[in-house]
Amino acid sequence: CVFTDGTGAAIGITNWLYVQMAFAALNMVFATWFQHQVWEQVKNNVTQQAGGMVVTAPSTTLPKEVVAHAFKQVMMYDLGVLFYFFVLAQQAQLGSGPRWLYSYRSVATLF
């Protein structure tokens, strides 16, 4: 696949695919980070509510309200989530199939 003019020639399909792979890796990192942040928030909430109860393993049974509250706290107040929102918006724009990709004459051979 070779683009001869315009944005397609400037970026190229290989570079576009590298960017898509970087976004995929970032999605994996964010998922792990977000789960860690929610778990830390759950531990903090339980420690404050139970007067010093220590939650060390996921085998402890917790009410769903505690987990839902921790999830909301992280979603609303963590700047990492805000950063990821903007990255996700950019990924949606770039990943939806740029116009220059469809300008290739034999796009049917790509798929």
Say which amino acid occupies 93.
Answer: Q
Distance CA 75, CA 80 (A): 9
Per-residue confidence of the chain (111 residues) as pLDDT tens digits? 666 666 666 777 788 889 889 999 999 999 999 999 999 998 888 777 766 556 666 566 777 888 899 999 999 999 999 999 999 988 887 776 666 566 555 444 554
pLDDT at 92: 83
pLDDT at 82: 93
pLDDT at 57: 62
pLDDT at 17: 84
pLDDT at 19: 87
> With b meaning 16 or more CB within 10 Å and e meaning fewer, what string describes 10-19?
ebeeeebeee
Does the pTM surpass 0.75? The reply is: no
